[in-house]
Amino acid sequence: MNPKLDLLKASLAAAPITKFGEYQYFVHPITDGVPPGTPELFEEVVEAIWSIGNFDCDKIITPESMGFPLAAALAVRARKPYLFIRKRRYNLPGELSLRQVTGYSGNDMFINCVEKGDRLLFVDDVVSTGGTLRAIVKALRSQGATIVDCIIVFEKTTKKAELEEELGLKIKTLLRVTVQDGKLYSLG
C-alpha cells in the first residue's frame, strides 16, 4: 500500500527551482531544509517510509546531509543504530572512501563503522542521476555489507529501472517528481 502523502504533494507547489549549470535543482524542506518544513510534513514522510520499509536490519545508513533527520527519526522508531556517510575523512580504522558524482557536483565521501555481514537499510532524500547511490552501494558491498532495503523520498529520474538492474537492488521511492517550466510536479 502506498501512502497518500497529501502534505508532501502539496508542498511541491512552493518548491523553488534553481539551476546548477544545466541541472534543474529543486529546493524543498525534505531535500534542503529550505523553505522551513513543518513537523506534520516530516512526520508524514517518516510514517510513509516506516510503512514500506524493511527494518530487519542491523543499522540504518544515509549519506550527508539531508538523509540525516530521516535516518535518525527512523532509528529511534526502529530502535536501531544509524550511520551517516560523511564528506569528511575521519581516518578511523576500516574507513571506506568513495567518490560521489551527481548531476551538479562531485565529492569524496567516507563510510565508517560498517562491517562485513552488516545488514543495512539505506534511506535518502532524492535520487536523480543515481551517482550517489551507485557509489555508496558499491562501497558497502566491497566491505561485505548487504543492503536489505533502499528507500528514497523523491524519485527525480527516468532511469530508476536501469539503476535497479545495474545495482541488483530494488529502489523504493515515495514520490516521483519532475521539473517542468520552472516548477516541481508530482508524477504520482
Q: What is the dihedral of CA 30, 51, 144, 157, to 10 degrees?
A: -50
Look at residue 39 and tell me whether its pLDDT is greater than 90.
yes
Instruction: Tell me the pTM.
Output: 0.93
Contact 101, 135 (CB under 8 A): yes
The domains of the chain, with CATH numbers, are 6-186 (3.40.50.2020)
Strands 172-180, 183-186: parallel, antiparallel or unpaired by DSSP?
Answer: antiparallel
Read off the pLDDT of residues 123-140 as tens digits, 9 standing for 90 and up: 999 999 899 999 999 999
In angstroms, the Cα distances linking 140 to 9, 16, 38, 91, 168 are 32, 34, 33, 17, 14
Q: Which is higher by pLDDT, 164 or 184? A: 164
How many other β-carbons are positioned within 10 Å of the β-carbon of residue 66?
18
Question: Which residues 6+ apart lie within 8 Å of 41 measured at CB?
Answer: 7, 8, 11, 29, 30
Per-residue cell: 110:
567516507
Look at residue 185 and tell me whether its pLDDT is greater than 90.
no
pLDDT of the residue at 57:
98
